[in-house]
C-alpha cells in the first residue's frame, strides 16, 4: 500500500560516495518537465480476536522503498546522470583542449555485474521537500520525432526518504537541448565498424529503451531497502523510417536472415567546445541489434508519406550489447 503519489516542481541531485548514504544536493535538475515520487509502504493487515465477536484489524508496516519517475528534455548536460544510475558508472575522460571536453562513457561489462553510481535526490516544492537516498535506475527511454525536441522518461527506485529542508542556494546547470532533427542513424553489418554507414533521408522518429537495476528486498534489520541487483540488461529500439528501397534492404538483410545482427548508432552533435582539434558536444547511443520479426513491411499514412516501423532488440555481440557516450564541457558532474 502506498502513502500517496507526490508530484513535484523541484528536483536536486547529489552523487553518493557510498550507496544509500544521504548527501546534500549539489545541483538543480534542469530540463525536468514532470515527475512523481512516492514512499512505498508494504503493510500487512492481520486478523486477530480478543475474546469477543469483533475482529481487530491491525496495520503493520513490514517494509518501505522509494519510487521516482522523471520526464523531461534530454540534453548533453543531464543525460550522464541517468546513464550513471542505469548502467555501469562512467569514468570521466578530459582532453587537452581549451576549454576541455569531457567524455562520459557508460559501457556495461556484461560478464560481471556493473557498478552504477547512486544519487541522493531531493524532490518536492517550495513548501515541502523530501530527500531520497540510494537512487538508481530501473529503466530509461529516450525518444525523438522530427520537428520536436529529444525527451527522456526515467524510472528509478530509492532506499527510503526523509522529509527535510532542501539544500539552499543551488542553481540549475545550463542545458543545451537536443532538437530531434539533428539525430543521425547509422546501421552497419556485424563485423564492420559501427558508425560508418549513415541512413540518410529516412529516419522519422525513434524510441530507445534500456532496463537497468532492480531493488532486492531482504532481511537486514531494517524496514528500508538495502540492496539491488542487475538481473539482466535488455535494450530495444524502435525506428520509424521511410518505406522505401533502403527499408526493404534492411528487411531483407536483417529480418529474413534470422542470425544477422546490426551495429546501430544514434548520434547527435551539438555546439563546439573547442578547436585544435575541433570538438563538439555529442551523444552516442550504440548497440548490437537484431530485427524483430514483428517488423512487417507495410505502408502507414502520416502526413502523406509512407512509413515503416522497425523494432530492434539488443543482442550481445562480442563485448557489445548497448553502451552510451556523452561529450560535454562539464569538468565534473556537479
Residues 174-192 have a mean pLDDT of 95
C-alpha to C-alpha distance for 7 and 113, rounded to whole angstroms? 33
For residues 39 and 182, the model is more confident at 182
Sign of CA dihedral 237, 240, 242, 245: positive
Band of pLDDT at residue 320, cut at 50, 70 and 90: confident
Give the C-alpha separation, 291 to 251, whole Å.
8
CA distance 325 to 195: 13
| Greater pLDDT, 109 or 75 | 75
Domain map (residue ranges) of the chain: 6-42+62-328
The whole-number pLDDT of residue 36 equals: 87
ω into 99 cis (within 30 of 0)? yes
* Residue 113 clears pLDDT 50, i.e. is over it: yes
Indicate the average pLDDT of the chain.
89
More confident residue, 83 or 251: 83
Q: Does 306 have pLDDT greater than 90? A: no
Determine the Cα–Cα distance for residues 312 and 135; give it in Å rounded to an integer: 29
pLDDT at 272: 98
- The pLDDT assigned to 181 comes to 97
Q: Average pLDDT in the 46-61 region? A: 81
Set of cell numbers at residue 98: 581549451
Instruction: Output the pTM of the full model.
Output: 0.91
The region of weakest confidence among 155-159, 171-175, 243-247, 303-307 is 303-307
**Mean pLDDT on 131-155:** 97
Percentage of the chain with pLDDT > 70?
93
In this predicted structure, what is the pLDDT of residue 299?
Answer: 56
Read off the pLDDT of each residue in 266-283 and give the average, rounded to a whole number. Answer: 96
Amino acid at each position: 500500500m502506498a502513502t500517496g503519489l507526490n508530484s513535484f516542481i523541484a528536483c536536486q541531485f547529489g552523487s553518493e560516495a557510498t550507496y544509500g548514504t544521504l548527501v546534500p544536493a549539489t545541483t538543480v535538475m534542469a530540463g525536468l518537465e514532470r515527475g512523481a515520487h512516492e514512499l512505498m509502504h508494504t503493510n500487512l493487515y492481520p486478523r486477530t480476536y480478543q475474546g469477543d465477536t469483533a475482529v481487530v484489524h491491525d496495520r503493520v508496516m513490514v517494509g518501505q522503498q522509494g519510487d521516482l519517475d522523471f520526464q523531461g528534455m534530454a540534453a548533453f548536460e543531464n543525460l550522464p546522470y541517468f546513464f550513471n544510475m542505469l548502467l555501469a558508472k562512467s569514468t570521466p575522460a578530459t582532453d587537452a583542449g581549451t576549454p576541455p571536453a569531457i567524455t562520459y562513457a557508460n559501457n556495461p561489462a556484461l560478464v560481471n555485474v556493473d557498478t552504477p553510481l547512486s544519487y541522493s535526490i531531493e524532490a518536492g516544492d517550495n513548501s515541502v521537500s523530501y530527500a531520497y537516498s540510494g537512487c538508481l535506475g530501473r529503466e530509461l527511454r529516450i525518444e525523438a520525432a522530427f520537428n520536436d525536441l529529444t525527451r527522456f522518461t526515467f524510472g528509478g527506485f530509492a532506499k527510503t526518504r526523509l522529509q527535510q529542508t532542501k539544500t539552499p542556494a543551488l542553481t540549475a546547470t545550463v542545458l543545451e537541448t537536443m532538437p530531434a532533427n539533428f539525430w543521425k542513424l547509422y546501421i552497419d553489418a556485424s563485423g564492420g565498424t559501427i558508425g560508418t554507414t549513415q541512413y540518410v533521408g529516412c529516419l522519422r522518429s525513434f524510441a530507445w529503451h534500456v532496463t537497468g537495476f532492480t531493488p532486492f528486498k531482504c532481511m537486514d534489520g531494517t524496514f528500508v531497502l538495502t540492496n539491488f541487483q542487475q538481473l539482466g540488461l535488455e535494450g530495444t529500439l524502435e525506428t520509424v523510417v521511410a518505406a522505401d528501397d533502403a527499408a526493404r534492404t534492411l528487411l531483407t538483410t536483417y529480418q529474413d536472415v534470422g542470425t544477422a545482427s546490426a551495429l546501430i548508432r544514434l548520434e547527435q552533435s551539438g555546439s563546439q567546445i573547442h578547436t585544435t582539434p575541433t570538438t563538439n558536444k555529442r551523444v552516442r547511443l550504440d548497440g548490437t541489434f537484431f530485427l524483430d520479426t514483428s517488423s512487417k513491411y507495410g505502408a502507414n499514412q502520416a502526413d502523406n508519406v509512407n512509413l515503416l516501423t522497425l523494432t530492434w532488440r539488443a543482442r550481445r555481440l562480442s563485448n557489445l550489447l548497448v553502451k552510451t557516450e556523452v561529450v560535454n564541457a562539464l569538468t565534473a558532474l556537479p
